[in-house]
Chains A and B, each alone.
Chain A
Amino acid sequence: KAGVTQTPRYLIKTRGQQVTLSCSPISGHRSVSWYQQTPGQGLQFLFEYFSETQRNKGNFPGRFSGRQFSNSRSEMNVSTLELGDSALYLCASYLQTGGNNEQFFGPGTRLTVL
């Protein structure tokens, strides 16, 4: 079974631009979560989606948004990029809601903002 796929793997943008990252979950998984990883703040939760509905949102500004499609693929968008948005963005997929899920992570998208 294929794992979680994230595209692109690497991205370089300049301040003020916007970016869209994509995540394809494991086949059959209906839930996707996104995390930001930085050296200073560690791993922080961005959003959680289940069946195209946002179920949970972390403490990030409105410039960070996401969505999930009917095939469970998910995208996240960051508008008006800031230097501090440089990070590894990780996507996790799992079967369903409820806390007792094994969450499988993709390799991440490394975003660099210049």
Chain B
Amino acid sequence: AQSVTQPDIHITVSEGASLELRCNYSYGATPYLFWYVQSPGQGLQLLLKYFSGDTLVQGIKGFEAEFKRSQSSFNLRKPSVHWSDAAEYFCAVVAPLIYNAGNMLTFGGGTRLMVKP
């Protein structure tokens, strides 16, 4: 079955340290890939997306993600974390058109990021 996995439920990093959040997907073809961030009590904000082309994509707030087809992964990175980055992060995919799933986003379970001062 098609799925999105975020292996880390919680991650704690020190402010100024680097960050990598993992995301793996299971589809027969490359889906459309997204990372969203959600602050407590808020909606989802799009950080970045990958549709095609360059496998390293830049997003807002200093985030980037790298698509690796061979590993079915789309990991999110940030070189230096700020206290304001504490939030929950969701990897999401839209299935390839052959699955006829429209624009349905399938989300991973989320990774809660805590930032130590």
Q: Is the CB of A31 within 8 A of B103?
A: yes
User: Chain A interface mostly helix, strand, loop or mixed?
Assistant: strand
In the complex, the answer to whether A45 meets B43 with C-beta atoms within 8 Å is no
In contact, A105 and B90 (Cβ under 8 angstroms): no
Residue interface mask B23-67, A partner, CB < 8 A = 1:
000000001101010000111111001010000000000000000
Cβ–Cβ contact B109 & A92, under 8 A? no
B residues in contact with A6, CB < 8 Å: 43
Interface-facing stretch out of A14-22, A66-74, A77-85, A93-101: A93-101
Q: Which B positions have Cβ atoms within 8 angstroms of A?
A: 31-32, 34, 36, 41-46, 49, 51, 90, 92, 94-97, 101-107, 109-110
The 8 lowest CB-CB distance pairs between A and B, nearest first, are: A99-B94, A43-B107, A56-B102, A105-B44, A105-B43, A100-B51, A107-B43, A99-B32
- If the complex has contacts A98-B97, A99-B97, are A105 and B45 also in contact, measured as CB distance less than 8 A? yes
Contacts from A to B (Cβ < 8 Å) = 4, 6, 31, 33, 35, 42-43, 45, 48, 55-56, 58, 90, 92, 94, 97-108, 110
The 8 Å CB contact of A48, one of B34, B102, B107, is B102
- B104 contact set on A, CB distance < 8 A: 33, 45, 48, 56, 58
Chosen A-B contacts, 17 in total, with CB atoms closer than 8 Å, are A4-B43, A33-B104, A43-B105, A43-B107, A45-B105, A55-B102, A55-B103, A56-B101, A56-B102, A92-B44, A99-B32, A99-B94, A99-B95, A100-B32, A100-B51, A105-B43, A105-B44
Residues of A within 8 A of B102 (CB): 48, 55-56, 97, 99
Residue on B nearest A56 in the bound complex, by CB: B102
User: Shortest beta-carbon distance, A1 to chain B, in Å?
Assistant: 15
Would A35 and B105 be within 8 Å (CB), given that A43-B90, A107-B42 are in contact?
A: yes
Chain B residues contacting A90 (CB-CB under 8 Å) are 43-44
Residues of A within 8 A of B41 (CB): 110
